[in-house]
Amino acid sequence: MTRLDANDISNPVFVRFYRSSRKTAIKRGETQHRRKVLYGLAGRVVELGPGDGANFPLYPTTVTEVIAVEPEPRFRDQAALAAQDAPVAIHVEPGTAEAIPARDDSIDAVVASLVLCTVPDQAAALAEARRVLRPNGELHFYEHVHAQGQPLRSFLEAADRSRIWPTVAGGCRPVRNTLAAIERAGFKVEVCERFRFSPSALAPRIPFILGVARNV
């Protein structure tokens, strides 16, 4: 039985849904997005909400250490197993994006990969990322965001209001303007690619952003 700590976020439905849906997403090309978000990383890295450790096999060997902060205990168990076969040293830790277990100015880069849509307090999570990053450290982000045009915009807003989507998708808020939130947090966005991707045949091609922002 998976042990729950006081600060854990338990999403058993999402864990089952994510594990099955990711297999389809991989077949449709998701791995290339994950490779891109990890490109150029070096030194000490924090990954926020790694889930089952999907990014772990893809880390470049220029990374000396990854602190992977995962609040869902089932994902944390799966990530710990994935870390054993990773090409770099990865330590899976309990915690949340709003309270990263790292000292001020001690991290070279923070990775946010399909997680900033789910954190309860996006502004607090980005503020924590800045706190732990050294001056000129990098935030590497790969996130889905709100649509700019119709009818997809209305579809995502309806999903956001529903009770089903947040339960199935681990608290996901599909209408967030994450790029604007990154800029409001004080990061300087240096590279940002916007594209559409459908992780499954049943899902619409929703907008994503992928890039690098600097802690200035």
In this predicted model, which residue has the larger pLDDT, 204 or 84?
84
SS3 of the chain: helix, strand, coil, percent, to 5: 35, 25, 40
- The pTM of the full predicted model, rounded to 2 decimals, is 0.90
Please state the φ and ψ torsions of residue 82, each to the nearest 5 degrees: -65, -35
Query: How much is the average pLDDT of 132-160?
Result: 92
The first and second tokens of residue 137, run together, are 């450290």
pLDDT at 2: 47
pLDDT at 85: 96
Note whether 142 and 115 are within 8 A (CB).
Answer: no
Q: How many whole angstroms from its chain centre is CA 81? A: 19
Least confident of 54-58, 90-94, 107-111, 158-162: 158-162
Does residue 170 have a pLDDT over 90? Answer: no
Least confident of 4-13, 14-23, 37-46, 137-146: 4-13
Compute the CA torsion angle 171, 105, 95, 113 (nearest 10 deg): 40
Strand order across the 63-69 sheet: 90-93, 63-69, 43-48, 107-113, 133-144, 206-215, 187-197
Q: What is the pLDDT of residues 17-75, one digit of tens each?
A: 777 788 888 888 899 999 999 999 999 999 999 999 999 999 999 999 999 999 999 99
Query: Among 187, 186, 176, 166, which Cα is nearest to 209's?
Result: 176
Please state the φ and ψ torsions of residue 91, each to the nearest 5 degrees: -115, 115
pLDDT at 164: 77
Query: How much is the average pLDDT of 76-86?
Result: 97
Query: How much is the average pLDDT of 138-165?
Result: 89
Q: What are the distances in angstroms from CA 54 to CA 23, 38, 146, 188, 196?
A: 11, 12, 24, 27, 20
Model confidence at 181, pLDDT cuts 50, 70, 90, reads: very high
pLDDT at 155: 86
pLDDT mean across residues, the chain: 91
